[in-house]
Each structure stands twice: as structure tokens, then as C-alpha cells.
Chain A
Amino acid sequence: MRSIAALPSRTLVPLLLVVFALMLSVVNNQLQVREYRSVVQDEQIHALTERLGVEQAMLDRLVANGNQLQLRRVVAELGLRPYLTHAYLIAPGGHVAGSLARADVGQDRIDRVVDADGSALLDLQVRPDQTLHIERSPDGRALLAVLSLQSGYRLLVRSDLELPLAQRLHASRLELWRNAATILVSALVLALFLHVFWLRRANRLSEAARAIGRGHLDTRVDIGGRDELALVANAFNDMALRLQAQHAALRDGERRMRAMFELAGVGVARIDTLRGRFLDVNAKFCEIAGHGRHDLLALDFMHITHPDDLPAELAQMDALRSGGIREFSMDKRLRQRDGRTVWVTLSVTPLWSAGEAPDFHIAVVQDITDRYEADQALTLERNRLREAERIAGLGSWEVHPVTGRVWWSAEMFVLFGLDVAAQPPMLDGFLDLVHPEDRAAVASALEQMKAGASTLGALAYRTSPARGPVRHLQPSVQIVTDDEGRVLKYAGTLMDTTEAVCAEQALRASEERLRATLECAPNVAVQWFDRDGRVLYWNHASATLYGWAIDEAIGRRIDDLVLAGSKAQAFMARLERIRRENLRIGPEELAVRHRDGTLRHIESSTFCIPGSDGDPIFVCMGVDITARRRAEQAVEKERTHLRTLFAALPDMVWLKSPEGRFMSCNRMAERVMGLRESELVGKTDYDLFPREVADSFRSHDEMAVRVGGRHINDEWLTVRDTGERMLMQTIKLPMRNEAGDLIGVLGIARNITPLHETQEELRALNRELEQRVSERTRALSDAMKELESFSYAVSHDLKAPLRGIDGYSRILQEDYGDRLDDQARRFLGNIRNGAAQMHALIEDLLAYSRMERRSLESSRVDLGELVKSVLARRADELAAASVQVIGEVPSLVVRADRQGLDLVLRNLIDNALKFSRDARPPVISLSTRVDGDRVTLSIRDNGIGFDMKYHERIFEIFQRLHRSDEFAGTGVGLALVRKAMQRMGGRVWAESAPGEGACFNLELPA
């Protein structure tokens, strides 16, 4: 649609006309065809009705006659009628009695023979009141008819409509074409007319309007005619004429304006208010701004404005844009292209009316650099003068007595504490500024001025305390008179003398303080002498130092006081020399005499000062250093001692500065390093040792400084002269002065080579020893292991045969006893005894070996309790042998292995039982003794005892003092006791005599 609308009307209108004509032709044609169709249908219905009416009579008759053959023929003949395509005669039974096709006749049912075109025939019904019924087929292409005949016969007929219609159309085709052509030709003629007489002229008019729009004001249009279009064209020509005249006037005005703009003495620019861009600039503006016109037109005003002035201008522009102000002007700097800065006065006027949106503004600039610089220079001068006055504390003033006018320089205001911008007070008001005490004098001076006095005194006065700190002012006046001697004006200055006045007062106070200081200085003795050596001044410290009171001393001569004879003369000579050469002597140390005759050491300075009457005064200042001197002597003495010690020390001692330079050393160090102390001082480790050695020494020094205390290290050193290598144990100690500053690192080195060698030997010996011990230990542990497996085997394998021997002997005794004689039975008894003895031996041996190898636990064992427990377990045996047990063992804690001690006690009790069996009654007595940290338990029996010469043997294994038939035993028991006691850190010993019983003592740690 849019593309159609875009077509010019001179094309669109004819196009629309042609389209309209075409559509009209088509519609006309359609209507015509529809009319033909209706006509053809009516004609055919009419023809069919007529025909079937004729046939009906004939068919009825033939039916009545039953002439089937004739019926078939009549039906077949129907096919001769134009457009009739189907005809069927249906008998009452439904079978086909006649048809156009011979083959159909005789068929039972019509639906078997009818084709697609004729199928609609089947649905046809005749209403009861009619014999003929005709209707259009459902697709409209044919007429269907049914005819009821007599005796129930029906005739079905189909007649085609398409064919007659086509014939009719063909006949009227020419007429249709003619109609269409007529419509089209009329439309084309109309379109051509419109195009020529209206649309082409309208186009020319619109082109002329477009040309004017493009600025061709001389365009005119002539399209002829007198219609509305021609009227519009005339009005257009008038308008173009008028526009042309106005434009010419405008151009003229603009040329004048442009000339004015360009030639104006000030810089003018039109600027885009929103972007700040220059839209128009005149030559003067370019000159002031120092940019070419083209450059400027590419720039904005912000670019050429000095950055310091820009914020102020932007603020003004904002105000202008928001309507806060209507215009503004300001002084600002522009930056020229070559970097120079010019001062301008800028005036900005908006080009938009109040209330409108801002668009452009006019900026007018005027170069004020010269004026500005002159102002600056003037201001500078003024400031300099003012600064000079300020520094000098000097104000200048003028008074015109005739007019009463007063002028003050800025400093005047400052002097009186007034605002500089204020007006100077008139003469009357001036008095308020003056100190009340000085007002009367100043008032009279002012009166004189008013009266025009030709002489004036320069009266000093003070400012009023009401106006800040009081200032002392010293005026000076110059009087300017005319030729006749009349006073024209008083001009003068006013100087601030406050500082000078204050200084004088301070000096006076200072002198007082100085005297008091001299008087009271506790350690500094000050005396003044005149040239004859008489005392003029003698302070308290002098009185203390010399023992002469102040009033005793003053007026006396020096030789009466502290110096005698030649010393006094020398003193006098010295004073003379000081006076003559204006010297200052000292500080020097002097020995002086106290009034009580003792010597005092002083440190004295002597100089002279001018006296009031021109005579010099000699000042002696002395400090009593007697105590210090004595202390120094003591220190010196101590130092001598130390130095001797230092020198004689067998160790190397030296002192290095924090930078590593030797400062001092002792003789041993000299010897080792092969240098005299004097040669060593100032050298560093790097001068004496290879670099890496020196590095190491230095690092140890630094380490000592870092840890802030003793740092010890061992180092090998080669003696320079002999080449002997020594291991030195070196102690480095940082030295600090009283203030805590590092003054050096002290080094003390001792030759520990012999010690080192001894240690090395010791270490080697130790290693060897350890190795031997470990070898022995291994051997011992191997032996122990062997012993262990040995005794394990013994305990298993030696016992089994014993059991066999005893078992079978016993069986022999029991089962075969009656078959053996007495001797054989005795032998068997001996065999069994032997086996029992062997078993006891094995058990004892195993116990002994266990005692040797098992690890003992040292725990706290209650001896009393353990003894009780052992006795309880032997209660039966003890009772059987009627043994008396005497003595209680108290509850004593000993350190022992419980099992081991149990074994020991059992053996000893068994022993006592065994050997006292013949005593009547056997007595076992127990006693204990505590001796420090040892506890001794004694078990005494009243048995057979033994000779003490066998004392050692009884504790050896397998050693027995009795035959086995006297006392059975294995000879292991006591050996076991001794072994156990040894292993528990105790001991056992016996006391006995034959027949006296035996006492076994056990000693254990508590």
C-alpha cells in the first residue's frame, strides 16, 4: 500500500482508472454468463417436458400391450434427442426394461448399470400427484427427470446442461469482447486528459515551490489557464517576489552588521552556550585570544581560558543558563597559542530571551593586560613600602592644620591596633588611642599643631592599654611651610620603640639576676680584684673555698688571703699582663691555700672587664676540683693496677673500635699477633689475617654487639712469628660508655690447645671404651641368651628321664616288689632317692640361673609383712619341727624385688629349719636394725653352726659343708641368696661358730 501511495498522482490516477475499467469488464462478463446459464436451463426444461409428454403416451400404450421389444426400441430412440445422455425404463420388479445401451436391458437392478454421471437418477422420486418430475442435478451440470408409466413402469432420464451452455457462450463471445473493449478505451482517454491538463501543471508548481525552498528566490512559474491551479501559481509568484526583496534587505543588513562585528575595537564572539564552542569570532577576538579564526572555531572557550579563572567563569555561566543572572562580566586570563597569558575583561550577554532555552551568547573581551600589569606594579610598590614600614615598625603621617585633614600610612593603623581600611582619626579622636598617662602631654602637642606652631617637640608616648598590648612610640616631625613661614602641613613618622624599651628593662633585670647567680653559685668561686690585687667582690662560694668570709675578704690584698710570697707576685704580674694584652687566662689548674693551711685544687679562669671608673676589674672564677682530683688519682692508681694485670695476663686481650680497628692490646696479644701495640693500633683484622679469617672474626664481633653481651667462640689461630697453631677460646664483649653508646668490642682469647688435645684424647678413649662395652654387652647378651635356652632345655628335657626313672622304679616296687629280694628293693629305693636328689638339683640350678638373668623390679616392699608371709607358708614344717620363732619384724619399707626377697627369706628359713633340727627346741630368732638408709634383718638359729673360715665357701654354688646323708641339699641355696641380694643392691653375710648356731644378716636399702 505504501509503495502505491508513494507514486505521484500523475501516474497513480490513470493507473487506478485502467484497473477500474478492467474490473468492470470482468464483472460485466460474469453477469452475462450467469444470465445465459439461466436461459439455457429454462429452454432445456421446456424441451424435456415436451418430449417426455410425447413419449409418455406411447410408452403407456406399449406397456399396456406388453410389447417389450417396442418398449426397448422407443427407449433406445430417446438417445437421438440432443443432450440426453441417460434413459432407463425400470419395470415394476426393479429390473431394467429399456436403456440407451443394449447391454443394460434385462439387468435386475438399475444401480448395477448406472455410471457416475447417472447415479443421481437413483434418488429421484415422483410425487404421487405427478407423473413427471424434473429437477437439476446436485452438481448443476444436468437435468434429471422421472416419468411414471402404467403398471408401475418408470422412465429415468438425464439431460446434459453444459453442452448447450457452451454452445450458447460460443455464439455470444464477440459481444462480450466488444463490451470490455469499450470500457477500457473510455478509461484510457480519461486518464490521458487528466494527465495533460491537470497533473503535469501541478507537478511544475510543486517543483517551483521546491526550488524556492532550496533558496532560488528568483524562481517563477507559468502554467497558463485560469483554473484554481493557475490562481495558486500566481499567488506563488507574488510570494517569491516579496521574499526576494526581503532577502536582499536582510543581506544588506547582515553585511553592515558583519563589518561592524569585524571592525569593532573589542573582541566579539558568538558562542554555543551549551557546548561552549565558538560559532563566530571577529578579528580582534582572534588577536586578543592569540589564535587563528579557524583554530578558534574548532575550540571552545574553556580551552583558551586560564585554568585558575575557569571555575569562576563556569559558575557564572551556570547562573546565566539557569536564568539566575541576565548577564555578567569579569576579569580573566586567556591563554594564547604561544603560551602567553593576557588579561581581559569579559562581558557575556545571552542571545535568548528570558524564559527560553539557552542557545547562544555573545562574549565581548577587552585586552586589559597593560592596565592590569600597571595595577600590579603599583600594588607591589605599595606593598613593598608597607612591608618596609611594617618591618621597621614605622608609620608615616601628615596633618594639614588649615583643613584639619589627616593622612596615615597603613602601619600607623597597625601601631594603634586599628583596622587598616578605617579612616584615620581626626586630631580630637586621636587622644583615645593614647595611654591615659600620656594623654595630657599629647593633647598639648596636638593643640600646638592646631594652632599651627612652627616648632614642635618630639614627645614619646604609649598607646592605650584598651587597644591591645601597650606600645612605646617615638614620633618625629617635619614641618612644611610656605614662603611666608606659615605651616602648610606637618609630616612625620612614628616609630615603635617597644622592643628597645623592653630590652632595656630586661637588661636591668638580667643584671640583677646575674649578680644573684654569682652570689649563689655553689661551686664557682668568683672574685673581683682591682689592679693592686685588692678584693672588690667575693661570693659565697669563695668564702667556702678559701675559708674567708665575704666581709673579711673584701678590701684585703690577695697575698693576705690565698697566695703567699712569690705566688702572690706572680699573680700580680699575671693581672698586669691580662690588663695589658686583654687576655683571658684559663681554665687552668692551680693549687691554692685554704685559710686552715690545707691545699686545694682549683680550676681557674682569669680575665678583666672594664670597671665603671675606667679602671679594669679582674675577675677570677674558680671551681674546687679537689675532690675530683682525688678521685682521679684513685682512678689512676686503679688503672695502673689494671694495666699491670692486663699486661701480665696469660690470655690475649684487645679492644677494637665498633668499626673493627684495634684500639689497644696486651703483651700476650702482641706476642701472638707479632706486632707491638703501637703498630697494631689503627689496624683491622683485614690488615692482619686472610680475608675469610678476618670475616669470621668480624662476624663474631658483630654477633657480640647484636646479642649485647658475651659471645664465646673457638677459633684456630696461627702465631705470626713461630707459625704455631693454637686453638683460642675467644670471648667477645661489647663495651659501652656511661651513656650506653657502643665504644668498642673487647676480645679475650685463651689458648685452649692443650685442653682441646686432652679432650680429643678423652673422646677417643671414650669411643674406644664405648665400643668395648658394646662388644662386651653383645657377648654378654649372647651368653645370656644361650644360658636361657640352655636352662629352658634343662627344665624340660632333663626332668623327663628323671620322671621315667622314678616312675618305673615305683612300678617295679609296687607291681614286682614281691618278686624282688630286700637288696633289690633297697637298690630301687636308692634309684628313686637319686632321682629325687637330681630333681632338687635341677630345680635349684634353674632358680639360680633365673635369678641371674631375670630383670629385677625395684619396688617398695614391707619387710615385716613379707617375713610374716614366708613364715605362714612354712607354718606346717615349723610346727612339725616344734620350732620357736622369736622376735617380731616391724613394718619396715625396703627397696627390693619382692619375688627375689621372698626367695631369699624362704631359703634362709629353710636353712635354719634344716640345720637346727637337732636342737631342743629349735629356735629361730628374728631382729632388725635401721642404720641410716640401710635396713638389716638378722635370722639366727640355734643349729649346728659352722666354722667362720668356711664363711665364703658357703655362699659359693655347689659348695657344701655336710655330707648329703647328714643334711640333704644341693649346695645352691645360699649361692642363690647371695646372688639375689647382690642383684637387689643389698648384701648378705653370716656369723657363726661350730655348735653355736648361725646368724644370717640381710642388708637392704631403705
Chain B
Amino acid sequence: MIATHLQPSSGLPILLVEDNPVDIDLTCRAFARNRLANPISIARDGEEALGLMQRWEDGELPPSLILLDIKLPRVDGLEVLRHLKTHPVFRRIPVVVLTSSSEDRDLLDAYALGVNSFIVKPIDFDRFVETASQIERYWCELNQHPS
């Protein structure tokens, strides 16, 4: 299911791949606090995210940034990452792993697959808001990438 939180913005959407509804809500709120310019679309699990890739191929506009949780039901985040980073076109979309765990194993695997950034979600909500703001400012404003 795709839910688009309408935001008064002309920027490309940010795709959040996350299964936990609490986390989705908090993440959206965290980004909302920063008066986000980019709309957020959401995929609830890995399969859905892979389904989206098919739609991008069919012409739908791909997102400017993907926020990816690792622990997902069915197809996990690393698998989604592998698909993204082996795709001839979509590999250019920056992927930021946004996860609770800081297990060495996940960190190594994600970087081996070519993740652009690996960020542990802070428990403290204030810091989470700050982190969200930094992510957005960095990836959607500062960073240049091929369109």
C-alpha cells in the first residue's frame, strides 16, 4: 500500500521503507517538524519496495532518496538494497539505511552492497528530529547527484 503524505512541495518524493507503523509515524513526524520540502512515500515491506521499482521502470517518477530499514518482513532491507544497487539506473538513487541496530554484521553487509549512508535511529525523539533534518538537508539540498 502506498500512502502519500501530501506536502506543499515541488521536490521529488523520499521513499521510506519501514514496517513498524510507530516508526513510520514518528519518522513522518520527525521529517514534518522540519517543514519538509519533499513528500514522503512509504513501502511497508521489502516486497512492496521491489514492486515500486517495477513501477519506476514503467515510467513513474522514482524518489530522490530512499530511507531503508533492514529488518523487514518477507524480503529484508539488505535484499532490497542489493536489487537497487545492481539496477543499471536506480543504483544512482541514494540509499540511507535507517535502522535500530548497529550490528557490525549489518554495517559490513550494507556497505558491501554499496549503501550511501548508514544511520542508527536515535531513541531520543529530539535527536531523531535533528537526525531527520540533517538527512534531508544533506541528501536533498547539499548533495548533488545525477538526475
| Chain A contact residues, CB within 8 Å of chain B | 792, 795-797, 799-804, 806-811, 832, 835-836, 839, 850, 854
Contact = CB atoms under 8 A, between A and B. Distances in A.
Nearest to B21: A804
A809 B126 CA distance: 11
B70 interface: yes
A850 B128 CA distance: 25
Contacts of B100: 795-797, 799-800, 803
B70 A803 contact: no
B103 interface: yes
25 contacts: A792-B101, A795-B101, A796-B70, A796-B100, A799-B123, A800-B20, A800-B23, A800-B100, A801-B22, A802-B123, A803-B23, A803-B100, A803-B121, A803-B122, A803-B123, A803-B128, A806-B123, A808-B26, A810-B124, A810-B126, A811-B125, A832-B124, A836-B123, A836-B124, A854-B104
Nearest to B120: A799
A803 B122 CA distance: 7
Interface in B102-132: 102-105, 121-126, 128
Given A810-B126, A836-B124, A839-B123, A800 B22 contact: yes
Q: Which 8 pairs between the two chains have the least Cβ-Cβ distance? A: A810-B125, A795-B101, A799-B100, A804-B22, A807-B125, A807-B26, A839-B123, A796-B71
Contacts of A792: 101, 103, 105
Contacts of A836: 123-124
Interface residues of B, number: 21
B99 interface: yes
A853 to B, nearest CB: 11
Interface centre among B26, B29, B101, B104, by most A CB within 10 Å? B101
Contact of A799 (B29, B101, B125): B101
Nearest to A899: B104
Chain A interface main SS type: helix
Interface in B71-120: 71, 99-105
B4 to A, nearest CB: 22
A801 B20 CA distance: 9
B102 A795 contact: yes
A802 B20 CA distance: 13
Interface in B24-82: 26, 29, 70-71
A802 B121 CA distance: 11
A802 B125 CA distance: 10
Nearest to A794: B101
A539 B23 CA distance: 129
B104 to A, nearest CB: 8
Nearest to B122: A803
Given A810-B125, A811-B125, A803 B103 contact: no
A629 B90 CA distance: 109
A839 B29 CA distance: 21
B124 A806 contact: yes
A836 B122 CA distance: 10
B47 to A, nearest CB: 19
Contacts of A801: 22
Interface centre among B20, B70, B99, B124, by most A CB within 10 Å? B124
A792 B109 CA distance: 14
Contacts of A802: 123
A800 B22 CA distance: 8
A804 B103 contact: no
A804 B101 contact: no
Nearest to B18: A800
B3 to A, nearest CB: 19
B46 to A, nearest CB: 15
Interface centre among A796, A801, A807, A832, by most B CB within 10 Å? A807
A810 B22 CA distance: 14
Contact of A804 (B26, B104, B124): B26
B82 to A, nearest CB: 19
A807 B26 CA distance: 7
A980 to B, nearest CB: 16
A797 B72 CA distance: 11
Nearest to B23: A800
Contacts of B26: 803-804, 807-808
B123 A796 contact: no
Given A796-B99, A835-B123, A836-B123, A807 B128 contact: yes
Contacts of A806: 123-125
Contacts of B29: 807, 811
B75 to A, nearest CB: 16
A792 B71 CA distance: 10
Given A792-B105, A803-B125, A854-B104, 6 more contacts: A795-B102, A803-B26, A803-B100, A806-B125, A811-B125, A836-B124
Contacts of B23: 800, 803-804
Nearest to A801: B22
Contacts of B20: 800
A839 B102 CA distance: 13
A797 B128 contact: no
Nearest to A843: B102
A231 to B, nearest CB: 132
Interface centre among A801, A804, A808, A839, by most B CB within 10 Å? A804
A806 B129 CA distance: 12
A797 B101 CA distance: 9
A564 to B, nearest CB: 110
A801 B121 CA distance: 12
A808 B100 CA distance: 17
Nearest to A804: B22
B22 A803 contact: yes
Nearest to A835: B123
B123 A795 contact: no
B84 to A, nearest CB: 21
Contacts of A835: 123
Nearest to B127: A806
A900 to B, nearest CB: 13
Contacts of A795: 100-103
A521 B20 CA distance: 121
Interface centre among A796, A800, A811, A832, by most B CB within 10 Å? A800
A794 to B, nearest CB: 9
B24 to A, nearest CB: 11
A839 B127 CA distance: 14
A809 B22 CA distance: 13
A363 to B, nearest CB: 114
A235 B8 CA distance: 163
Given A801-B22, A803-B23, A811-B29, A796 B101 contact: yes
Interface centre among B20, B23, B104, B123, by most A CB within 10 Å? B123
A40 B112 CA distance: 133
A432 B126 CA distance: 151
A909 to B, nearest CB: 21
Interface centre among A809, A811, A854, by most B CB within 10 Å? A811
